[in-house]
Amino acid sequence: MKPTAPVYDRQLLSRRAAFRALGSIAALTALPRVPAATSDKDSLPMQFYKSLTEEQRAKICLPINDPKRQYVSNWWYICPEQRLHTFYTKDQQDLVQKIFESMHHPEHREKMTWQVQKDLMGQIKNTPSVGFFGTPADKDFEFIYTGHHVTRRCNAHTDKGLGFGGAPIFYGNFAKAFNESKDHEGNPFWYQGLLFNEFYRALDGKQQDKILVGQEPRGESPATVIKKRKTDLPGLNASELSKDQQAKLLETMRKMLACFRADDVAATMKTIEDKKVVERLFVSCYGGAHDIGSDKVWDTWQIEGPEMVWYFRGDPHIHGYFHLAA
């Protein structure tokens, strides 16, 4: 099977033209529903891997412990020269789309596909890039999907989500404008901000004072954005919460992960609960210039501990980083 490789000018295209080059929204979202994985059938990532030519594998399969496995950014490409629109056949592109959809809850798949296409910003050069870490002989053989405002990963051996422990993911979007309004209209991830604020409002006055910190939030340099601190963590120490409040925090996190597939959410929360991570977390949010509209609905917040970083930057638009140690 020889991959098709159409040549596109690196000029600004209309969003309509970009969608045509990748396949229209309708064509992408109308793909067959992802079937349930069975023991005698290859997973979707394995189907994609087996479809690759030797040339393709040589270019997109990285060593199992490649440093990029722990890398994350709001805009990057795992294999910059191998993009979906030029390096793969149409059948392979369709398989990648199925993999991407499979990593999200059915109720959120259409929104997640829309986000990726919206953030092409009308330029075909912004098409995502995918790759693998390791080989099928590795237990933790990993598929990765990257681009503008998107980094998703999954174990390539199975269509069952095994959780987000071990390597970072990223999600983000600006729906209407780069500088979003206080309501983040149309942003598919703002529901997480509303859930965080619901948790904040359930705290007492002294706890709210502790959670709202005066310093700047963490920076977004890829080298440090998921760095975990063991001391001098900002905000409210979750160990000071009552058991009911700790349970509320856990339930809030579970609900905020709802855009991802249920298996990944369950496995991630099980790790957090089994390791009693919540007792070592600090929760913070940021006002001042980071409070869009000065409405005290906090746009930027963080849940951080020695084993975990969840940084939600809502100003000027949403960037979300999540990393849980394995």
Strands 300-305, 142-147: parallel, antiparallel or unpaired by DSSP? unpaired
Q: Are residues 155 and 214 in the same domain?
A: no
pLDDT, one tens digit per residue, over 25-50 is: 333 333 333 333 333 599 999 999 99
Q: What is the mean pLDDT of residues 99-103?
A: 98
Q: Are residues 223 and 309 in the same domain?
A: yes
- What is the distance between the alpha carbons of residues 268 and 166, in angstroms, rounded to a whole number? 10
pTM above 0.85, yes or no: yes
What angle, 0 to 180 degrees and rounded to 10, lies between the N-to-C axes of helices 15-22 and 109-118? 120
pLDDT, one tens digit per residue, over 236-275 is: 999 999 999 999 999 999 999 999 999 999 999 999 999 9
Q: Are residues 203 and 76 in the same domain?
A: no
Question: Where does residue 151 fall: left (phi above 0), alpha (psi -120 to 50 degrees), or beta otherwise?
Answer: beta
- What is the distance between the alpha carbons of residues 45 and 92, in angstroms, rounded to a whole number? 11
> Does residue 114 sit in helix, strand or coil?
helix
Contact between residue 172 and residue 319 where contact means Cβ atoms under 8 Å apart: yes
Share of the chain above pLDDT 70, in %: 88
**1 within domain boundaries:** no
**208 within domain boundaries:** yes
**131 within domain boundaries:** yes
CB atoms within 10 A of CB 185: 11
pLDDT bin (cut points 50, 70, 90) of residue 98 is very high
Q: Are residues 196 and 240 in the same domain?
A: yes
The string of DSSP letters for 118-179 reads HTTTT-GGG--EEEEES-TTSTT-EEEEEEBTEEEEEETT-SS---SBSS-EEEEE-SS-SS
Would you say residue 72 has pLDDT above 50?
Answer: yes
pLDDT, one tens digit per residue, over 105-155 is: 999 999 999 999 999 999 999 999 999 999 999 999 999 999 999 999 999
**175 within domain boundaries:** no
Specify which residues 213 forms β-bridges with.
286
Q: What is the mean pLDDT of residues 2-24?
A: 40
Q: Are residues 80 and 154 in the same domain?
A: yes
**285 within domain boundaries:** yes
pLDDT, one tens digit per residue, over 45-71 is: 999 999 999 999 999 999 999 999 999
Q: What is the mean pLDDT of residues 180-188?
A: 98
Q: Are residues 317 and 231 in the same domain?
A: yes
Q: Are residues 144 and 201 in the same domain?
A: no
Q: Are residues 290 and 245 in the same domain?
A: yes
Higher pLDDT, 195 or 9: 195
pLDDT bin (cut points 50, 70, 90) of residue 21 is very low
**224 within domain boundaries:** yes
**165 within domain boundaries:** no
Higher pLDDT, 17 or 257: 257
Non-local (6+) Cβ contacts of 115 within 8 A are: 149, 150, 171, 173, 188
Where does a domain end: 160, 181, 213? Answer: 160
Residue 311: domain span: 190-324
Higher pLDDT, 20 or 157: 157
Domain count, the chain: 2
Q: Are residues 43 and 111 in the same domain?
A: yes
pLDDT at 36: 36
pLDDT at 108: 98
Q: Are residues 111 and 209 in the same domain?
A: no
**297 within domain boundaries:** yes
Q: Which residue from 16, 19, 311, 2 is spatially nearest to 169, judged by alpha carbons?
A: 311
The answer, yes or no, to whether the previous bond of 136 is cis (omega within 30 of 0) is no
Q: Are residues 96 and 137 in the same domain?
A: yes
Amino acid at 61: C
Q: Are residues 147 and 33 in the same domain?
A: yes
> Does residue 216 sit in helix, strand or coil?
coil
Where does a domain end: 140, 160, 180? Answer: 160
